[in-house]
Amino acid sequence: MSGETVTVGEAARLTGVSAKMIRWYEARGLLPPAARSAAGYRHYGEIEIRALHFVRRARDLGFDVEAIAGLLALWSDRDRPSAAVKAIAQARIVELRRRIAALEGMARSLEHLADACCGDDRPDCPILDDLSAGLGERAPREKRTPP
Amino acid sequence: MSGETVTVGEAARLTGVSAKMIRWYEARGLLPPAARSAAGYRHYGEIEIRALHFVRRARDLGFDVEAIAGLLALWSDRDRPSAAVKAIAQARIVELRRRIAALEGMARSLEHLADACCGDDRPDCPILDDLSAGLGERAPREKRTPP
DNA sequence: GATGGACCTTCCCACCGTGGGAAGGTCAAG
DNA sequence: CTTGACCTTCCCACGGTGGGAAGGTCCATC
């Protein structure tokens, strides 16, 4: 019979999506409203559990809510063109690569600065010098306007 | 002299930190309360502008508010040990590398999937297959305590 | 002077995604 | 019946950022 249904907490345990998040996804329209018991408890069957797994996996891949909603819609459409799915994935890849590049730039800058900083008891620090650079003079140690 | 002071808007234009954010940083204690005119307008001198530049630059390097507060404190302490600064920078580097690795993993998975997806009119899609897979394998199977 | 527009002030609300917790209802076991 | 685990909704918080309302100020121009 496959009539076994579980509550949110159980669904959370099964899928790795917290009960809070399950309710939140539902409220945001990402998931359809769950079936309710007479007392108002949400109940989830195998298909819903599968959808939650899907959401979890997509979330792990860095998709945001909108994208996941789109993927879910395509997932449940048996006639979807695979091109539509691929487009979403590729947009996500572009975004990921963009963010990676940004973080990489930061990391490299910082590594460069940290390498130049001897890191001892003395106050001379290229890191702070760099952070305060770009205006006029560098350090705030000269508190008064330089000549 | 050098009593030239500017308002928030001007400071924002000069430093690239929005007026909103300047006020927010002040409210969060990241920046000391700005001097006020009789009418209550904030006014910023060269030193404050410098600090804002510093904040902007640190933000661009991915430091969060707490770290920036720490860096600012060290920046204005002439006797700080450079090791303290370096420690903050290195912690940031570790965090950046961690996030880069996470994003990189996602990007690679997605690229792999997208490569396998032909992206045409047909519904067969390895991407969706992967997203909905893993139910039987990776998921912690229901290990209900026996009655 | 007055007027108008650009600016300032504070305050609230929104976003994303997540967690914490309160107040109250339900269910199953003892 | 009581107890404790669970459910419900609702509010609040976070980091940062933006939007906007309601009201006060500054300055140039008439």
CATH number at residue A4: 1.10.1660.10
Distance CA B122, CA B49 (A): 59
pLDDT of residue A1: 52
Distance CA A65, CA A81 (A): 21
Distance CA A127, CA B54 (A): 11
Distance CA B126, CA A140 (A): 57
On whether residue A118 sits in a domain, the answer given is no
Nucleotides of C under 7 A from a protein CB: 7-10, 16-21, 25-27
Distance CA B9, CA A51 (A): 49
Please report which confidence band the pLDDT of residue B131 belongs to, taking 50, 70 and 90 as the band edges.
confident
- Using CB atoms within 10 A of its CB, is residue A142 exposed (0-12), middle (13-18) or buried (19+)? exposed
On whether residue B49 sits in a domain, the answer given is yes
On whether residue A135 sits in a domain, the answer given is no
| Alpha helices (H) along chain B | 8-15, 19-27, 46-60, 65-75, 82-116, 126-132
A146 pLDDT above the threshold of 70: no
On whether residue B101 sits in a domain, the answer given is no
Cβ neighbours of A59 in B, within 8 Å: none
Please report which confidence band the pLDDT of residue B2 belongs to, taking 50, 70 and 90 as the band edges.
low
B91-98: average pLDDT: 90
Mutate to test the interface with A, among B125, B129, B137, B142 (most CBs of A within 10 A): B125
**Among all residues of chain A, which has the CA nearest to that of B56?**
A131
A55-69: average pLDDT: 91
Residues having Cβ less than 7 A from any atom in strand D:
A 7-10, 19, 23, 34, 40-42; B 18, 20-21, 24, 28, 37-39, 41, 59, 64-66
A112-122: average pLDDT: 86
Quick check: A86 and B119 CB within 8 A? yes
On whether residue A50 sits in a domain, the answer given is yes
pLDDT of residue B32: 92
Quick check: B89 and A58 CB within 8 A? no
List the beta bridge partners of residue A102. Answer: none
Least confident of A6-10, A22-26, A41-45, B27-31: B27-31
**Among all residues of chain A, which has the CA nearest to that of B126?**
A82
Containing structural domain, residue B33: 8-80
Comparing A139 with A56, the larger pLDDT belongs to: A56
**Among all residues of chain B, which has the CA nearest to that of A15?**
B139
- The one-letter code for the residue type at B111 is E
Q: Please name the residue that has the structure tokens 């449940």.
A: A76
Cβ atoms of residues A29 and A69 within 8 Å: yes
Best CA proximity match to A130, nearest among B75, B4, B81, B66: B75
Cβ atoms of residues A128 and B85 within 8 Å: yes
Taking one residue from A and the other from B, the number of pairs with CB-CB distance under 8 angstroms is: 180
Please report which confidence band the pLDDT of residue A142 belongs to, taking 50, 70 and 90 as the band edges.
very low
Please report which confidence band the pLDDT of residue A134 belongs to, taking 50, 70 and 90 as the band edges.
low
* B46-94 pLDDT per residue, tens: 999 999 999 999 998 888 898 899 888 888 888 888 898 889 889 889 9
| All residues at 6 or more sequence positions from A117 whose CB lies less than 8 Å from its CB, including other chains | A125, A126, A127, B82, B85, B86, B89
Q: What domain count does chain B have?
A: 1
Cβ atoms of residues A66 and A57 within 8 Å: no
* Helix (H/G/I), strand (E/B), else coil: B21: helix
On whether residue B130 sits in a domain, the answer given is no
On whether residue B126 sits in a domain, the answer given is no
